[in-house]
Amino acid sequence: MANTFALILFVATVLTGIIWCIDKFKWAPARRAKQAQAQVQTGNALDEKTLAKVAKQPGWVETAASVFPVLAVVFVVRSFIYEPFQIPSGSMMPTLLIGDFILVEKFAYGIKDPITQTTLIPTGEPKRGDIAVFKYPKEPSVDYIKRVVGLPGDRVSYDPDSKTVTINPACDNGQPCSSALPVTYSDVQPSDFIQTFSGFAGNEAGNGFYEAPQGETMKGGLRLGTRNETLGEVTHRILLVNEMQSQPGLYYRQPGQQQATWGVPQGQYFMMGDNRDNSADSRYWGFVPEKNLVGKATAIWMSFEKQEGEWPTGLRLSRIGGIH
């Protein structure tokens, strides 16, 4: 859908730009010449209103010429500088909530062709801990947003029992080092969020996420746990469903690696959601190629109180600002 919109915007910009150029350099001079000739023939007796009728600019030309500058600015900003995105699911909670509208820095990971996503000018690479938007590898028309956990050459392991990550970063030869990156965790504490379920055996798909004061309960709901995760120098909060066990049998099994361990290939990245037990991420479908990267999430510019697939019920103005 995003690529389709980019293509439509590109075509509209080009078409209106062509009309603007033809009008500016051919049709407009011809109209002015015709008006000047009419003034000569009438002895300069025509007022501006009458003169305009002598060689009137067609309505469709006027519309295209006036729309072109707006489309051009939108196309450039959206394609190469910043693009707005809406958070549709809870996979990045508590960092990003359903209903958050974010700005994505398009030039953070290279200036790319907005249609083919080919890198035109390299400007930077993802850093561990970045929140990145990318094209879902299995369906590139869909945009995903996750946190960068594994860089090219890293070996990433996930313990489904303790729900912790171990990372052996790449050494100078591009292979994983024997020493692990410092990844630390705080104790699990009750979070401010309750997740409701379609059934209540503790493992059914969740229906919604609700902020609720400590001690408050909801029918068919579980209070999520939270703790800080520090990946090297980046610290952020993650959410856990304490009563839910991970299902490593569903993880992506990389040839030559043990279960729940992945060696990140060169030019690819390992992504995980902050809502660890509610995120379909690299643990389940593999790696994100560099060409799929769209940009880095940098700020929340609007936030609506809502649930997935439902209409907003209010505003969360306090969430507007940088993403931490």
Which pLDDT tens digit goes with each residue over 157-199? 999 999 999 999 988 777 778 888 999 999 999 999 999 986 5
Chain segment 97-145, per-residue pLDDT in tens: 999 999 999 999 998 888 788 888 999 999 999 999 999 999 998 999 9
The catalytic residue among 135, 146, 163, 296 is 146
Quick one: 71 and 101 in the same domain?
Answer: no
**Distance of alpha carbon 178 from alpha carbon 34, whole angstroms:** 81
Chain segment 194-252, per-residue pLDDT in tens: 999 865 444 455 678 999 999 898 888 899 999 999 998 899 999 999 877 778 889 99
Q: Which residues have C-beta within 8 Å of that of residue 112, sequence separation ≥ 6?
A: 106, 118, 119, 120
Catalytic residue flag (residue 91): yes
**Which residues are bridge partners to 305 per DSSP?**
314
CATH of the domain at 296: 2.10.109.10
Quick one: 44 and 111 in the same domain?
Answer: no
Tell me the three-class secondary structure of 127-140, residue by residue. CCCCEEEEECCCCC
- Residues of the chain above pLDDT 70, percent: 95
Residue ending a domain, among 80, 98, 121, is 80
**Distance of alpha carbon 272 from alpha carbon 295, whole angstroms:** 16
Quick one: 191 and 251 in the same domain?
Answer: yes
Residue ending a domain, among 24, 49, 80, is 80
Residue ending a domain, among 80, 95, 128, is 80
Catalytic residue flag (residue 127): no
Query: What is the domain extent for residue 307?
Result: 87-322
Quick one: 116 and 171 in the same domain?
Answer: yes
The per-residue pLDDT for 270 is: 98
**Model pTM score:** 0.84
**Looking at the predicted structure, is the pLDDT value of residue 320 above 50?**
yes
The per-residue pLDDT for 200 is: 47
Quick one: 68 and 117 in the same domain?
Answer: no
Quick one: 223 and 140 in the same domain?
Answer: yes
Q: How many structural domains comprise the chain?
A: 2
The per-residue pLDDT for 137 is: 95
Quick one: 189 and 298 in the same domain?
Answer: yes
Instruction: Compute the average pLDDT of residues 86-93.
Output: 94
The per-residue pLDDT for 299 is: 97
The catalytic residue among 91, 191, 246, 279 is 91
Quick one: 217 and 302 in the same domain?
Answer: yes
Q: Which residue, 113, 14, 29, 26, is CA-closest to 68?
A: 14
How many whole angstroms from its chain centre is CA 244?
Answer: 28
Q: Is 43 left (phi over 0), alpha (psi -120 to 50) or beta?
A: left
Quick one: 47 and 133 in the same domain?
Answer: no
The per-residue pLDDT for 3 is: 66
Quick one: 33 and 132 in the same domain?
Answer: no
Quick one: 292 and 159 in the same domain?
Answer: yes
The per-residue pLDDT for 25 is: 92
Quick one: 151 and 200 in the same domain?
Answer: yes
